[in-house]
Amino acid sequence: MTTISSLASRKGRNVELALLVFAVGIVVLAYINVGIAVEGAIPPSLVAVGSGFLVITAVFHLVMRWRAPYADPLILPIATLLNGLGLVMINRLDLARGDDLAEGMALRQLMWSALAAGLAIAALIILRDHRILRRYTYLAGALGFGLLVLPLVPGLGLENYGSRIWIKLGPFSFQPGEIAKVVLAIFFAGYLVQTRDALSVAGRRILGLTLPRARDLGPILVAWMLSVGVLVLEKDLGSSLLFFGLFVAMLYVATERTSWVALGLMLFGVGCWVANMLFSHVQQRVLLWLDTFSREALDTSDQLAKGIMGMGSGGMFGTGLGRGRPDLTYFAESDFIIPSFGEEIGLVGLFALLLLYVLLVERGLRTAIGARDGFGKLLASGLAFSVALQCFVVVGGVTRVIPLTGLTMPFLSQGGSSLLANWTLVALLLRISDHARRPVPDPEAPSPVASDQTQVVKVR
């Protein structure tokens, strides 16, 4: 982990405002397009949805000018556009099922978006300096691990479709693993800043790799056992891959040693192989991955096959928003929202959508490069890696690059816990980027106090 000198940057708030207007305009046009394609008229809910979305965006931008004037000007418009496009697709699926705004999921998604943006605004106002979080490193670790095992608590955890990743509180259900990824990123950043010297220097060199000493293997073994525990007990391959991948990525950033990456990949491969040998739910996922269209796989689940055929029917340019049949796939609004978009906006549109995630990750890594403290550098890189890993796991699952998991696409998929976690992640990136881009006072500049000439006062 190398410290980079400070960069003089413009505030960029006017650029952010122009991009936000552009993002809201795209969302409104897409919403109108869906209404005309499905019902042949401009949707009557346009005023309510459009004004609600505009108010949320405007308030967030004003708070940025007030509390984080030097924050990266691209992060907020990208998150706003992704959130808005997800809202459009969820509304489109509501219309395909015959539900209006009040009956469907779009209104709830808009309310969760407002709540999540409000939480991010509150975080920006309250948290004036991200380095304060380092004081709570081990508290964040305990909270993160507690959130991970919370679905295993009898009477509280909820098992849906083979995975136990939800908790139920009265009429509400919640996925604590989404929040855990943000909290664990804070813990990993604080822990690795303290221990990076021991983890990066000592070791024996074998076959070109500097392997760590046995006494230094503790952290990665604990993270590995935790990820395997999540895989076995909660039957959640996606979260297991996300948490272990996040830790290994941050470990590499902290130590700059490729041996940690090789060791991490080997450990995770061994864990997956043993799980595939012992557990039937893992074997089902592998069967759906390797032989999706076989009779045995289709008797187990045809969800992946329908998603792939939907994307295939969209072709290069898609059927057009509102003109496909993404509602034929199960969970088209959550786990399979990428195939829904792929069918209606085609391969070209899907690549444009994924480019937004690439830009978001790039701005997060740029923030990490510009950060002047080790904790901020590690936290920003960890948050950016978590977005990249989650996108890879989701897109890789629906395109058969890796076995299918139950993770949701950040900002696009329906779900309150996902929105809360990802908007909080955006708030942390904005806070760190504000600190990284803020000009440093020139130590050679004369102090106003020192520059005052000494005056002789005559005293009689």
What is the crossing angle of helices 237-255 and 218-233, to 10°? 170
Q: Does 197 have pLDDT greater than 80? A: no
What's the pLDDT score for residue 446?
A: 56
pTM score, whole prediction: 0.89
Higher model confidence: residue 371 or residue 227?
371
DSSP state of 116: H
Q: Does 442 have pLDDT greater than 70? A: no
What average pLDDT is seen over the chain? 85
Q: How confident is the model at residue 459 (pLDDT cuts 50, 70, 90)?
A: very low
Q: What is the rounded CA–CA span in Å between residue 244 and residue 181?
A: 10
Residue 313 is inside which H or E element, if any? helix 303-314
Given a contact cutoff of 8 angstroms between Cβ atoms, the answer to whether 158 and 151 are in contact is: yes
What's the pLDDT score for residue 429?
A: 96
The pair of three-digit structure tokens given for residue 177, joined into one six-digit string: 């693993």
What's the pLDDT score for residue 440?
A: 73
Given a contact cutoff of 8 angstroms between Cβ atoms, the answer to whether 329 and 302 are in contact is: no
Given a contact cutoff of 8 angstroms between Cβ atoms, the answer to whether 346 and 339 are in contact is: no
> How confident is the model over 92-120, as pLDDT tens digits?
999 888 887 777 888 889 999 999 999 99
Q: Does 405 have pLDDT greater than 90? A: no
DSSP secondary structure letters along 54-89: HHHHHHHHHHHHHH-TTS-TTHHHHHHHHHHHHHHH
Q: What is the rounded CA–CA span in Å between residue 239 and residue 219?
A: 18
Type of residue found at 3: T
Q: How confident is the model at residue 460 (pLDDT cuts 50, 70, 90)?
A: very low
What's the pLDDT score for residue 24?
A: 94
> How confident is the model over 25-64, as pLDDT tens digits?
999 999 999 999 988 888 888 888 888 889 999 999 999 9
Beta bridge partners of 123: none
E strand map for 346-389: none
Q: How many beta carbons lie within 10 A of that of residue 347, not counting itself?
A: 15
The pair of three-digit structure tokens given for residue 182, joined into one six-digit string: 């943000």
Higher model confidence: residue 439 or residue 447?
439
Residues 6+ apart with CB under 8 A from 324: 310, 313, 314, 318, 340, 343, 344
Q: Does 455 have pLDDT greater than 60? A: no
